[in-house]
């Protein structure tokens, strides 16, 4: 299956820019999802930073973005280099199997031997060199006939991530550190997470998948033949005038399911999943505690302040403040606090409770307050 | 000194409506001081509740309010029954010796044998019968030639109040529970406060003083002869067309000093201070923790919510929320939290840190941000 030319020449980046990031409410909203925010204080949105991380790998001409219709304008504003043929708009959210599968199906028709790599639009990686090294190995593994993923070396027994158990080295040319992915593990309990970290053979599942598009679709079709058929129907019409009509007919009935279940787990069970250890920093910025960690960089007592023109007066306080209103925010003696000040909603919680923010969003949904979501 | 007719007939209430309540910032402001807020959720401002508590004692015609010029309109809106001759306006704040002393000097000229009682505009008492009983005894003690105060029976070793040490019973007609006030103690350390409460002879100094106006002025003059001279000059001109000119000339140069130092302490030292135990609930609502206590009424886990149209979504949270913006306020897993949400400033602290809120106000003053105070 190996090609003569550099497999990176056949590489295409796919950025699914979907999830709202409910645990970052009220900062992240339906109309201002997580990937459109600068959560690191770098001056770039997460989407833009993702783009900038991928252009050296695939070139700006070979990055496809899959996003909701509602976010088209914002995405194009963030990514002026994004080419029209690389924009895939979802009429409604359908989870990662449909989003990445559609990109794979479209790109495969355009370029049968394409290798795609999908990377979330809302994760943070600062060690760009380490990231590129790992992607390079993953592309080599994909070229060798594997579906590859990049597993992050755990730095703590996190319970917010899934884990990948690694088996023996695969000995792939150009991918010396790639090992076989044995099993994918759901988010564990703390005691289990501690065992994983102590064991040394478990990596965090960062949701990065690198594969020949045809292999990915083949694997997807094994577990979800109807989904694959729908995606192929869409892809066939995509670069034709029929696109709109077919999208309206097909997309709404596609199942919502994560690619971990439809592709990654079954492929691992077949022994065709490779994992490249990602020995770089990675943060999925899943909640406000993660934002605090990003900013604190180890200094636990610090206060992270996000928001242009934020005015914060803090006395013996630490945690995270997000300011969108320009109001004066005063903190007195509050430790590990999370304050998110937006024009129509205020959140006050603590780092330890950051994962529970989703419960507020759920309560608002139930009470019909979608205007504020 | 005893009079034939009921001494309560000679009673005049004085309400100094002054202090901003810095520890209640950003709710209390220079232009919206504590006494103009409904902090109990009763539907009445603290000033109005004070008025309603005093009318059965002195009648609405005999309540004088000393307040700042800037608050005249708000005070008159709260107290439409307040008569013009009972309004004393300060051109600038001068503390309690000047405020109460001026009321005493004006009233004494109008009515030489008047007994005045001064009661802060921003304290909360719900046991109105208990309050009236205590004031009745204090007026009897004043009639008998004492300066009387009402000391509150402590319910805990509070460190936010001054204490009064009581000595033997005085045996005054109509004031059976009045004892001699031995010494006034400043706000103590916790260990000292515990000793006071265990001792049983210490009452909280609630700043209520009841006295013949002439005696109060006489005592004031002993320690502050210049202040007394200024007050008499003001009082002489008060009910004449010269009032404005004399106020402009005299008021600015009066010293700022609390009446505790100029009258209460020296009078106690002379053995002429009586204290009537106030066996009723009393709360000076000195900080947000006090507001929480008022609302919780013993249920420590509760969340007190102040503000018309407040929209609060709380999950496993307790404390105090003050809402002035109509924004949705979400609390997740924050205990004993204090959140004060106003249009231009947000405060987040805890009940335990409530006394430290003043430090924010001080910092804002230092940085010239008086617009927000």
Chain B residues in contact with A329 (beta carbon < 8 A): 345-346, 348
| B369 neighbourhood in chain A, CB within 8 Å | 328
Q: What pTM was estimated for this model as a whole?
A: 0.87
**Cβ contacts (< 8 Å) between A350 and chain B: which residues?**
332-334
User: SS3 of B59, please?
Assistant: coil
Specify the pLDDT at position A260.
94
pLDDT of residue B19: 80
pLDDT band for position B301 (cuts 50, 70, 90): low
B117: its two tokens:
């009682």
Burial of residue A175 (CB within 10 Å: 0-12, 13-18, 19+) is buried
Q: Does B345 touch chain A (CB under 8 A)?
A: yes
A87: buried, middle or exposed (CB in 10 Å: 19+, 13-18, 0-12)? middle
Tokens representing B176 are 């059976």
Which residues fall within 8 angstroms of residue A218, CB to CB, at 6 or more apart? none
Least confident window among B25-34, B300-309, B338-347? B300-309
Mutate which: B321, B346, B362, vs A, most A CBs within 10 A: B346
Segment (H or E) for A182: strand A179-185
Domains and CATH numbers, chain A: 7-278 (3.90.550.10), 288-372 (no CATH)
Beta-carbon separation of A350 and B357 below 8 A: no
- Choose among A330, A350, A360: nearest Cβ to B334: A350
Across the interface, do A330 and B372 touch by the CB < 8 Å criterion?
Answer: no
Both ends of chain B: CA-CA distance in Å? 48
- Over 80: is that where the pLDDT of B327 sits? yes
Of the given ranges (A63-72, A353-362, B117-126), which has the lowest mean pLDDT?
A: A353-362
Mean pLDDT of chain B: 93
Residue A3 — very low, low, confident or very high, per pLDDT cuts 50/70/90? very low
Who among A348, A359, A369 is closest to B348 (CB)?
Answer: A348
Residue A4: per-residue pLDDT: 55
pLDDT surpassing 60 at residue B2 = no
Determine, for residues B357 and A313 on separate chains, whether the beta-carbon distance falls below 8 Å. no
Query: Which one of A344, A348, A369 has the shortest CB-CB distance to B337?
Result: A348
CA–CA dist B16, B13 (Å, integer): 10
Helix ranges restricted to H, chain A: 46-58, 72-78, 95-110, 128-143, 190-199, 213-223, 225-238, 243-250, 259, 265-269, 288-296, 357-366
- Which range in A6-20, A109-123, B293-307, B355-369 is most confidently predicted, on average pLDDT? A109-123
- What single-letter DSSP state applies at residue B40? S
Q: What is the mean pLDDT of residues A36-54?
A: 94
Q: Which residue of B has its CA nearest to A328?
A: B345
What is the pLDDT averaged over residues B64-85?
A: 97
Report pLDDT digits (tens) over B270-288: 999 999 999 899 999 999 9
Distances (CA, A) of A274 to A87, A162, B70: 29, 16, 75
User: Can you tell me the distance from the alpha carbon of A5 to that of A227, in angstroms, rounded to the nearest whole number?
Assistant: 33
Q: So what's the pLDDT on residue B205?
A: 96
Q: What is the pLDDT of residues B151-185, one digit of tens each?
A: 999 999 998 899 999 998 999 999 999 999 999 99
Q: What is the DSSP string of A236-293?
A: HHHTSTTHHHHHHHHGGGS----HIIIIIHHHHHTT-EEEEEE-S--B---SHHHHHH
Residue A111, both tokens: 């370029």
Confidence of residue A160 (pLDDT cuts 50, 70, 90): confident
CA–CA dist B253, B248 (Å, integer): 9
Is the minimum CB–CB distance between A190 and chain B shorter than 8 Å? no
pLDDT at B1: 47
Reply yes or no on whether the pLDDT at A301 is more than 60.
no
Contact A145, A289 (CB under 8 A): no
- Report the residue of chain B nearest A330, measured CA to CA: B347
Inter-chain contact B348–A328, Cβ cutoff 8 Å?
Answer: no
> What pLDDT is recorded for position B297?
61
In this complex, the residue of A332, A349, A372 whose CB is nearest that of residue B331 is A349
**For residue range A306-331, what is the model confidence (pLDDT) as tens digits?**
988 899 999 999 999 999 999 999 99
Strands B147-152 vs B63-68: parallel, antiparallel or unpaired: unpaired
Return the residue matching tokens 């010494």.
B183
Q: Over 80: is that where the pLDDT of B293 sits? A: yes
ipTM: 0.85
**With a CB-CB cutoff of 8 Å, which residues 303-342 of chain B face chain A?**
313, 315-316, 327-334, 337, 339, 341
Residue A230, classified by CB atoms within 10 Å of its CB into exposed (0-12), middle (13-18) or buried (19+), is: buried
Q: What is the pLDDT of residue B4?
A: 55
- Residue A295 has a pLDDT of 82
B196 has pLDDT over 90: yes
CB B181, CB B149: distance < 8 Å: yes
Region A253-263: mean pLDDT is 96
Interface test with A, best of B303, B312, B332 (most A CBs within 10 A): B332
Q: pLDDT of A270-298, one tens digit each? A: 999 999 999 899 999 999 999 988 886 65
Out of B313, B346, B353, whose CB is closest to A360? B313
């Amino acid at each position: 299956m190996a090609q003569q030319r550099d497999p990176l020449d056949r590489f295409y980046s796919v950025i699914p820019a979907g999830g709202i990031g409910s645990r970052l409410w009220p900062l992240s909203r339906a109309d201002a999802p997580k990937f459109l925010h600068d959560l690191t204080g770098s001056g770039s949105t997460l989407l833009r930073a993702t783009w900038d991380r991928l252009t050296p790998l695939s070139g700006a001409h070979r990055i496809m973005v899959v996003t909701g219709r509602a976010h088209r304008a914002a995405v194009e504003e963030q990514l002026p280099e994004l080419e029209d043929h690389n924009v895939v708009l979802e009429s409604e959210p359908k989870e990662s199997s449909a989003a990445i599968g559609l990109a794979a199906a479209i790109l495969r028709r355009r370029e049968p031997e394409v290798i795609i790599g999908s990377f979330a639009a809302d994760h943070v990686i600062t060690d760009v060199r380490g990231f590129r090294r790992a992607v390079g190995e993953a592309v080599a593994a994909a070229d060798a006939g594997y579906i590859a993923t990049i597993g992050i070396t755990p730095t703590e027994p996190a319970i917010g991530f899934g884990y990948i158990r690694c088996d023996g080295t695969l000995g792939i040319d150009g991918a010396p550190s790639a090992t076989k992915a044995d099993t994918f593990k759901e988010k564990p309990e703390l005691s289990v997470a501690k065992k994983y970290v102590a064991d040394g053979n478990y990596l965090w599942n960062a949701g990065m998948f690198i594969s020949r598009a045809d292999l990915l679709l083949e694997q997807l079709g094994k577990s979800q033949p109807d989904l694959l058929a729908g995606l192929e129907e869409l892809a066939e019409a995509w670069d034709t005038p029929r696109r709109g009509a077919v999208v309206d007919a097909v997309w709404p009935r596609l199942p919502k399911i994560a690619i971990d279940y439809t592709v990654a787990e079954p492929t691992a069970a077949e022994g065709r999943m490779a994992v490249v250890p990602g020995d770089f920093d990675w943060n999925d910025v899943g909640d406000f505690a993660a934002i605090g960690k990003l900013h604190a960089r180890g200094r636990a007592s610090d206060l992270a302040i996000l928001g242009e023109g934020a005015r914060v007066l803090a006395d013996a306080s630490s945690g995270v403040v997000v300011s969108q209103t320009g109001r004066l925010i005063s903190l007195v003696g509050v430790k590990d606090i999370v304050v998110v000040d937006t024009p129509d909603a205020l959140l006050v919680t603590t780092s330890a409770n950051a994962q529970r923010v989703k419960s507020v969003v759920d309560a608002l949904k139930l009470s019909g307050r979608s205007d504020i979501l």
